[in-house]
Amino acid sequence: MDDIRNYLDDESTCKACHVMIRVSGDYDPAEVSRVVAVDPELSYRKGDEYVTKDGRTLRRPNSHWSVSTKDLDSRSMECHFLELRKRLGGVSRWEKIRQMDGVVVSIAVWWEAKGGFGDYFVTSKALSSLAGYGDDFEFYFL
């Protein structure tokens, strides 16, 4: 087991990583916070105005609510998966969100290589611990 743990915690090729749960669609983000009893890291409502980098004012095409592990000081994906699971509370609350009309709940995984190449590993236990929270997983390699 120690060999497996050392393998999973190998961070030598990772520059940065995090995991996020993201709720997208046409809904009230305050309702998500109320149902899951978790404060979002970022949220906005469909139709809210925002200013682009070039100074234009646009309206949000969809609502957004998210919590991530960006603040976690680790380059181990295993740690990020397990930490997000801790932050989310009970899965039954999230099932209510997933059943809302026009809502998609995604688990997004970001991993950036140091030096342009590399990979990461996550145990099936850590991966499955988040599976019931989202409709899908999205993997981003930067």
How does the average pLDDT of the chain come out, rounded? 91
pLDDT of 4 over the 60 cut: no
pLDDT digits (tens, 9 = 90+) for 60-118: 999 999 999 999 999 999 999 999 999 999 999 999 999 999 999 999 999 998 887 77
For residue 23, the model assigns a pLDDT of 98
Question: Helix 124-131 and helix 77-88: axis angle, to 10°?
Answer: 30
pLDDT of 120 over the 90 cut: no
Domain chopping of the chain, boundaries: 2-46+59-141
- Closest residue by Cα to residue 133 from 45, 26, 38, 22: 22
pLDDT of 44 over the 50 cut: yes
pTM: 0.86
For residue 121, the model assigns a pLDDT of 83
Confidence of residue 9 (pLDDT cuts 50, 70, 90): low
